[in-house]
Every structure is written in structure tokens, then in C-alpha cells.
Structure 1
Amino acid sequence: MKVSVSRSGGIAGIRVTWEVQVDEQPDARSWRELLDALPWDETEESAPEPDRYVYRIRCAPHEVVLPEPQVAGPWKDLVDRVRAVNEGR
């Protein structure tokens, strides 16, 4: 199972993507529990805000696009975990 997080926007408009193969992680079970607990179908659409980041989070069959202010709680936990794996922490 692959999780992909892309962040775009901001002042420079640069896109950055982080990915993790959940099944290759030593704590794969906790990853799956977090992914299963996310409110995939409960996100709200909102208008883009200038110079703010937008996050696209994918884990088949799910995909959400969240403006930066909505990346909180379990969404922030997921983004932080995916980034940490990619940054070697």
C-alpha cells in the first residue's frame, strides 16, 4: 500500500511530493490504523487562498485535496509521518 502526499502552492508555487510504502515500514500496522481512521469522505471543499499550500493525499482508493488550514489532527499526523520517512527521521 502506497501513500503519496503532494504539497503545492505557497509563494513560489513549487510542488513537493513525499511517498511511503506502508508495507515496508517496521510499524506498518500503526500506519494502516491511521489510514483507516482518517475521515476520507468527510472533507469539505473550499476556495483556494493566495500564497497558501494545498495538499493532495492519496492512498488507493482514496484521494483528498486539502487547503493548508484543513491539514490538522489526523491529517497532519499522516503528512508529518510521510515527510519524516522521506527525510530519514
Structure 2
Amino acid sequence: MEIIVQRSGGLAGLRITWRVDVDEQPDADAWVVLVDELPWRDVPPAPPEPDRYVYRIECEPHEALLAEGQVTGPWRELVDRVRETAPPHREPPPAPRTR
């Protein structure tokens, strides 16, 4: 099982992605329990918050989009664990659209 956490937005608009292969972790069972207990179906729409981060959390077949202020409780625990376990992959902000 792979968990992907992607953070985008902020003042610079950078996108950072962390990926963890749970099966390779020494505490894989604890990861599975954490993922299974997340309220995947009860995530309210992320409210627009200029210059704040937005988190996309994916773990097949689940996906959640959370505003920075919504990353609390078990969501915060998962995001923090993924960030502590995996190196970040940075992507430049999207190019401005031209007409």
C-alpha cells in the first residue's frame, strides 16, 4: 500500500510530495490501522484560503483534499508520519497561463 501526501499552495505556490510504501515499513500494521481509521467519507470541501497550504492525501482507493486548517487529529498524525518517513520531492509552481 502506498500513501501519497502532496502539499501545494502557500506564498510561493510550490508543490511538495511525500510517498511512503507502507509494506516496507517496520510498523506496517500501525500504518494500516491509522489509514483505516481516517474519516475518508466525511471530509468537507476544502474552503478557499488564499496563501495557505492545501493537502491532497491518497491511499488507494481513497483520496482527500484538505485545507491546512482541516489537517487535524488523525489527518495530522498521518501527514506528520509520512513527512517524517519519506524525503520530500519538490516541484516548481505551475507556469502562468498565457492568452
Aligned pairs for 1:28-67 (under 5 A) are: 28-67=28-67
- Aligned-residue sequence identity (percent) comes to 60
Matches within 5 A, 1:1-89: 1-87=1-87
Q: List runs of 5+ in structure 1 lacking aligned partners.
A: none
Distance 2:47 2:18 in 1: 24
TM-score (norm 2): 0.86
Quote how far apart the aligned CAs of 1:86 are: 1.4
Q: What is the RMSD of the two structures over their aligned residues, measured on CA atoms?
A: 0.7
Residue 30 of structure 1: how far off its partner (Å): 0.2
Unaligned runs of 5+ in 2: 88-99
Larger Rg: 2
Q: List 4+ stretches of structure 1 deviating above 2 A.
A: none
TM-score by length of 1: 0.95
Instruction: Give the number of equivalent residue pairs.
Output: 87
